[in-house]
Structure 1
Amino acid sequence: MALPDFLIAGVPKAGTTALHAALVRHPGLFLPAVKEPKFFLSDGPPPTRGGPGDAQTYQEHVWRREDYERLFDPAPEGALRGEATPFYLHHLDSHARIHRLVPDARIILLLRDPVDRAHSNWTHLWTAGLEPEADFLTACHLEERRKAAGWAAFWHYKDLGRYGAQVKHLYEYFPREQVLLMRYLELRETPAAALDKVCAFLGVRTGVLDHVPAENVTRTVENTRVNAVLRYLLRTGAGFGQHFPVPLRKVFRGPLLALLQRGHGRRIPLKPEDRAALLPAFADDIALLQEVTGLPYDDWLDADRHHTPSR
């Protein structure tokens, strides 16, 4: 069977795309061209409806087992196979599915300050033209309403950052020695050491990788009337786009997105007052994360800490 030996299982907007791009250059590792197969997120076909753009994303799920295994067929003999789907940690049902199929898999988790992560998540969807709410904090307050309406996990700005409960649940299925916890800042500030840490955890040669490519970097989109029209067209197009082939969708979406992301200014900053307002939503879970892992994350509780730029 061609199944993964390791998974980059979390979290969105915490460097998983960059880590994937770095690890594909290691001769002892194989990661498929499909960066987020999302195989373990469902037992069958994914949903067909949700928030803006969700239906198209669901169409990209590799949910049939034969298709999933086929992703790993090109792996060289002896190479460790892996994939990166950063929603696995958040999706609690996926923990049992992973354990049932690949119980010996090693799991890599990149964790990021949950307020920074939420802001980067919102910025990502805003610059993609999909997020209709121009105010970050207001978008966070809409989360429960959006969840009730069936919007996909990437819209769950707060819930995706409650790592304590998620890691605790994961530990019910996998022993701690099979799980590597890393911080997003490790990958950003000391990439060579961080990559060696991952390679040592996986049991492949260290000293091979020394930098992390810039991947999935968020662009600048100003809140102007012209951009409001472009965002409306992109959201509307996302609803119709699910009925057309991917190449045709890109033909129409590409120019609109390029026009929306034409700016070169500063990214939308996280306002200190927004951090202070959102931080209480994570306080109890950060305490739980420290209790479950035995690692310190109390610096995330500092409302005055410096914001790490969105990516």
Structure 2
Amino acid sequence: MPLPDFLTIGAPKSGTTALHAALSRHPGLYLSPVKEPKFFLSDGPPPTRGGPGDAQTYREHVWRREDYEALFTEAPTGVPRGESTPFYLYDRAAQLRIREVIPGAKLIAALRDPVERAHSNWTHLWSAGLEPIGDVVEACAEEESRIAAGWAPFWHYLSLGRYGEQLEHLFTLFPREQVLVFRYRDLVDRPVATLDRICRFLGVEPGVVTEVPRENVTAHPEPTRTHRALSRLLRTGAAVGRFLPPGISGALTDPLERRLQQRARARQPLTWEQRERLIGHFAEDVALLQRVTGEDFSDWLLPRERSGGLVGTRPDGQRQARNGRPQA
């Protein structure tokens, strides 16, 4: 059956889009043409309601088995097939479905500093006009009520970053030799070495993919009157759009989103005060992550000064920053 041999399973906002694009350049691998099919996130049709914009996202799910298999029918014989859905690590039910359908799959997990990940996640939705709260700490405080209301996982800013819990469950289902865990910063600071490590894990020749392509770098619109007005229109358009065909829905919201992001500044780093208020949500899980992996992640509980997107490597060996437009 044309099913994947490997999956990039997480975490969201941890370079999975860039990694998918990089691996798709390797002639010894086949990556699904739909980067994020989300097949294992449900047993049937996805929900139809949720937070702002969720209904449109649910329309993107490749949830029928025949449609999912069709993503891999063009793969050459003997070439490992893969896809990238960064919510599989977070979703315990998805982990169980993967084990049931493809128990021998190799799983790749990129982990990002959970505070930086939450901030990047919030900025993504804020820049798209979907997040109504203009402060990341305040938005995180709404997480439990949003989960109770059925908002999609991408709104779970804090929960998505509790990797210790997620990996602890994953390792009850899959042997550790089938799981590769690495830091997002490894992809940023040491792209070639990290790509080679991933290629060896997948059993293909290293040294073939030598750069990480452009990653999505989210703009950060100021909370002006114009921003508030456009955001309200976008959320209204998204709510109405779930009753319309996808093409018409996009025609309503896409121009508003482009207008919203015009002349927006780059994503702003967190202040230490903001970071300090969020770190406490992860301290216990970081300790669990260290026990589960045997690696040191204590730096995630310290102040952070640096920010920025993925860095590629030019043919001359020099490092080169890559920027791109916002995208989930």
Q: Distance in 1 between matches of 2:116 and 2:286?
A: 14
Q: Give yes or no for the alignment of 1:189 onto 2:193.
A: no
**Match of residue 322 from structure 2:** none
Question: Could you tell me which residue of structure 2 aligns to residue 235 of structure 1?
Answer: 235
Distance 2:136 2:102 in 1: 38
Whether the 8 Å contact between 2:106 and 2:178 is mirrored in structure 1 is: yes
Residue number in structure 2 paired with 1:25: 25
CA contact 1:270–1:307 (8 Å) conserved in 2:
no
Conserved in 1, the CA contact under 8 Å of 2:49 and 2:55?
Answer: yes
Count of residue pairs the alignment pairs up: 310
- Do the aligned residues in 2 keep the contact of 1:32 with 1:83 (CA within 8 Å)? yes
2:96 is aligned to: 96
CA distance in 1 between counterparts of 2:108 and 2:168 reads 15
State the shift of 1:245 in Å. Answer: 2.1
Q: Which residue number in structure 1 is paired with residue 320 of structure 2?
A: none
Q: Is the 8 A contact 2:117 2:161 kept in 1?
A: yes
Q: Percent identity?
A: 59
Deviation at 1:244, TM superposition (A): 2.0
- TM-score (normalizing by structure 1): 0.97
Per the alignment, residue 139 of structure 2 pairs with 139
Indicate if the aligned counterparts of 1:21 and 1:215 stay in contact, CA closer than 8 A.
Answer: no
Partner of 1:152: 152
Asked if the contact 1:37–1:62 (Cα under 8 Å) also holds between the matched residues in 2, the reply is yes
Alignment pair present for 1:259 and 2:255: no
Letter in 1 for 2:84: A
The residue correspondences of 1:207-246 to structure 2 (distance < 5 A) are 207-246=207-246
Q: CA deviation at 1:113?
A: 0.3
Alignment-mate amino acid for residue 214 of structure 1: R
**Which residue of 1 is the match for residue 308 of structure 2?**
309
- 1:229 maps to amino acid: A
Aligned match of 2:250:
250
- 1:1-311 maps to which residues of 2 (within 5 A)? 1-302=1-302, 304-309=303-308
List, as ranges, runs of 4+ consecutive aligned residues in structure 1 with deviation greater than 3 Å: none
Partner secondary structure for residue 7 of structure 2: strand
CA distance in structure 2 between the aligned counterparts of 1:61 and 1:295, rounded to whole angstroms: 34
Q: Is contact 1:23-1:29 (8 Å) kept?
A: yes
The alignment partner of 2:61 has SS state of coil
* Aligned residue identity for 2:47: P
Once the two structures are superposed, residues 70-120 of structure 1 have per-residue CA deviations (whole angstroms, 9 ceiling, x without a partner) of: 111111222110000000000011111101100100000000000000000
SS at match of 1:295: coil
- Secondary structure of the residue aligned to 1:281 is coil
Unaligned 5+ runs, structure 1? none
One-letter amino acid of the structure 2 residue matched with residue 70 of structure 1: A
Given that 2:126 and 2:220 are in contact with CA atoms closer than 8 Å, whether structure 1 keeps it comes out as no
Assess if the C-alpha contact under 8 Å between 2:9 and 2:85 holds in 1: yes
Q: Contact 2:222/2:264 (CA < 8 Å) preserved in 1?
A: no
The answer to whether the 8 Å contact 1:222/1:263 transfers is no
> Match of 2:209, SS?
coil
CA distance in 2, matches of 1:94, 1:264: 36
Of 207-216 and 15-24, deviating more is: 207-216
CA deviation string 1:206-238 (max 9, x = no partner): 100111111222123111111111111111111
**2-structure distance, mates of 1:35, 1:21:** 9
State whether residues 28 and 78 of structure 1, in contact with CA within 8 Å, keep that contact through their aligned partners in structure 2.
no
